[in-house]
Amino acid sequence: MRLTKQGAESATKFRVHKDGGAVMKKTDIGGQAVIEGVMMRGHKSYAIALRKGEEIIIKKEYAVPLTRKNKFFSLPFIRGTFALIDSLVIGIKSLTYSAEVFEEEESIEPTRFDVFLQRIFGEKLEDILMYFSVIISLILSIVIFFIGPTYVTDYARLFTKNTIVINFVEGTLRVLIFILYLLLIAQMKDIKRIFEYHGAEHKAIHCLEHEEELTVENARKYTTLHPRCGTNFLFIVMIISIIVFSFLKWPSLYVRILSRIFLLPVVAGISYEVIKLAGRSNNKILALFVYPGLLLQKITTKEPDDKQLEVAIASLKSVLQDEGGREFESI
């Protein structure tokens, strides 16, 4: 589906009716920034809106979250792992699609290797490459943010035998690596554009949650920070890992590394419940817990322009068409 700039502004206007109160409603609808666009995801579908000149291209896919397909997958502290996998799969699909759209403009010829893979795997190639990307992303994340700090911190045993101190050093190192990583990628020109679309995504969601008409004018006034952001989730994972791992002794390095890998689903599960509660509650303790993650969003979100807000709103409107008034129900 294609919308011209004029079409995007005159598209059907959605308004969530208030139930007699000024209390801001919470929604599980969320998304992510992609190359020159925004992906928004609802209960039944996700939409990728991209800007090409004065046009907004929208691609919609119907996909039910894993946590709604199986009761076991939806259990508290279990659902976090499956929600993370789901987000990775759809996130990489969305990024790949946005990259392909803009590669078409450059008319890049497929390499011999591309042709070879297409001949071997046929129509399944895209799915195979997508799942391969998810696996590689998970492996790299585990190596950089979990195994790496564990390996380096092993040398701390030369100075102290106190496992609580060693665990704290490991966790602190993990957080510092994460912050350094964000600061480094934030310097890249293309990433800065993505961070602007990230800010646009958050503003559009805020506009929905405040039950205002989804327009650029209304969305513009909101903050680019949001408690349910993926940046928040990753930071909470770092903090929860410090708490969980502090109960462990410091055995051999390899046993230590294996314990980190096997406990990742536990950490992800707890972190997911925290971020879910933080997104739905005004509890001051939870707010304090997620505050550092909000500060990190000052790195990962930037102030968008009006055209970027148009894209985020177009994506959100497309998803809302399938919600049937259930946009404030829990996923």
How crowded is residue 128: how many other Cβ atoms within 10 Å of its Cβ? 12
> Residue 263 domain-assigned?
yes
The span from the first CA to the last CA of the chain, in angstroms, equals 26
Q: Is 202 part of a structural domain of the chain?
A: yes
Retrieve residue 244's tokens.
């969980």
In this predicted structure, what is the pLDDT of residue 13? 36
Q: 289 falls in which pLDDT band (50, 70, 90)?
A: confident
| Three-state DSSP state, 43 | coil
Is 301 part of a structural domain of the chain? Answer: yes
pLDDT for res 91: 92
Residue at 239 is within a domain: yes
Indicate if the pLDDT at residue 71 is higher than 90: no
Split at pLDDT 50, 70, 90, the class of 256 is confident
Ramachandran bin of 64, using left for φ above 0, alpha for ψ from -120 to 50, beta for the remaining angles: beta
When divided into structural domains, the chain yields a total of 1
Q: How confident is the model at residue 174 (pLDDT cuts 50, 70, 90)?
A: very high
> Model confidence over 212-229: pLDDT tens digits?
999 999 999 999 999 889
C-alpha closest to that of 240 among 218, 263, 257: 263
Give 29 or 130, the one with higher predicted confidence: 29
- Cα gap 21→207, rounded to integer Å: 16
Phi/psi of residue 52, each to 5°?
Answer: -125, 100
Instruction: Give mean pLDDT, residues 12-38.
Output: 66
* Alpha helices by DSSP H, the chain: 5-10, 66-69, 79-106, 112-121, 125-142, 148-153, 163-185, 189-209, 216-220, 230-245, 253-280, 284-300, 306-320
Identify the three-state secondary structure at position 53.
coil
**Of the candidate ranges 28-42, 154-168, 264-278, the one whose mean pLDDT is the lowest:** 154-168
Q: Is residue 122, in this structure, part of any structural domain at all?
A: no
Give 277's pLDDT tier (boundaries 50, 70, 90).
confident
pTM value is 0.83
pLDDT band at 270; cut points 50, 70, 90: very high
> How far, in Å, CA of 245 to CA of 168, rounded?
9
The structure tokens listed for 196 are 């602007």
Question: 7 is written with which tokens?
Answer: 């079409």
Question: By the 8 A CB rule, do 232 and 297 touch?
Answer: yes
Any domain includes 43 = yes
Residue 309 clears pLDDT 70, i.e. is over it: yes
From residue 41, how far is each of 20, 29, 45, 143, 261 by CA, in Å?
Answer: 27, 6, 6, 29, 29
For residue 93, is it within any domain? no
What gap in Å lies between CA 151 and CA 289, rounded to an integer? 28
Positive or negative, the Cα torsion across 143, 149, 151, 152?
positive
Query: Which domain covers residue 237, as residue numbers?
Result: 2-81+141-314
Q: Given the DSSP bridges, would you call strands 37-41 and 45-52 parallel, antiparallel or unpaired? A: antiparallel
CA 153 to chain CA centroid, nearest Å:
29
Tokens of 197: 């679309």
Decide if pLDDT at 293 tops 80. Answer: yes
User: What interhelical angle do 253-280 and 230-245 show, nearest 10?
Assistant: 130
Q: Which two tokens stand for residue 165?
A: 């101190």
* pLDDT surpasses 80 at 24: no
Q: Quick one: what percent of the chain has pLDDT higher than 90?
A: 45
So what's the pLDDT on residue 325? Answer: 58
Least Cα distance to 100 among 63, 126, 123 occurs for: 126
Q: What is the pLDDT of residue 275?
A: 87
- Complete edge-to-edge strand list for the sheet that includes strand 55-62: 2-4, 55-62, 45-52, 37-41, 30-34
Contact of 59 with 51, CB cutoff 8 Å:
no
What are the backbone dihedrals phi and psi of residue 58, each rounded to the nearest 5 degrees, phi first? -120, 125
